[in-house]
Amino acid sequence: MPLAFPSLSHGWLAFGFFNIETDLLLLENRFFFAPEFCALIADLAGRAGDRDWAGKLPGWVIDRAGDVGDLHRAIQGRGLSGFIGEVYRRFPFPQRPEDFKQRPEGRLNRAWVETLLGRWARPEDLPVAVRAGLERFDLDGFVFDRAGLTQLVDYVWRGGLPGWRGEVRPDYLLDLEGRLAELGSPLRPAS
């Protein structure tokens, strides 16, 4: 479930996994897959020492708010409109609270999710700019300080609000944690 995170540019922003059966993340109306986000973090951690750094994150943008859908209504099964509603129509919120855990095998549903994104969103390489020392992280105009970026990385590491099913993390996260540990990066997850 996405949570609110503080940004320097827009106040509190929604970021995170929005369905336990996929590894797609949202940042307001931007969508991108967690493996690419983690690869970006590993790359920038290795490059953003004393110099500014710029890159791109492959993603999708849904321009009309109504086309995104209503997460809370979709979770309740009452509002299955927009992109999020379509995802919840295919993968409803679990009936049992103990089943509400992020699936480490979300990649298995990626092809279906990408097809659905093609109907609702436009593909876009989201520009990323990072100040030296990771003091400022700008993802397509959404700006976070280092503490805010660290919170985003930690959220993905934990598997969002529900956590990872069985405490099993996907390989892309283990690779990221290894790279951040190797670099002694301040972005390394706390847990």
DSSP 48-81: -SSS-EEEEEEEEE--SHHHH--HHHHHHTS---
Looking at residue 77, what is its pLDDT?
A: 84
* Per-residue pLDDT tens over the stretch 6-52: 999 999 999 999 999 999 999 999 999 999 999 999 998 887 777 89
Dump pLDDT digits (tens) for 144-167: 999 999 999 999 999 999 999 999
**Phi, psi values for residue 149, rounded to 5°:** -65, -40
Cβ neighbours for 59, distance < 8 A, ≥ 6 positions apart: 30, 31, 32, 36, 123, 124, 125, 126, 140
Kindly list the domain boundaries of the chain, sorted by start residue: 3-183
The pLDDT, as a whole number, for residue 191 is: 64
* Mean pLDDT score of the chain: 93
* Closest-CA residue to 135 (of 186, 173, 188, 178): 186
Average pLDDT of span 104-129? 97
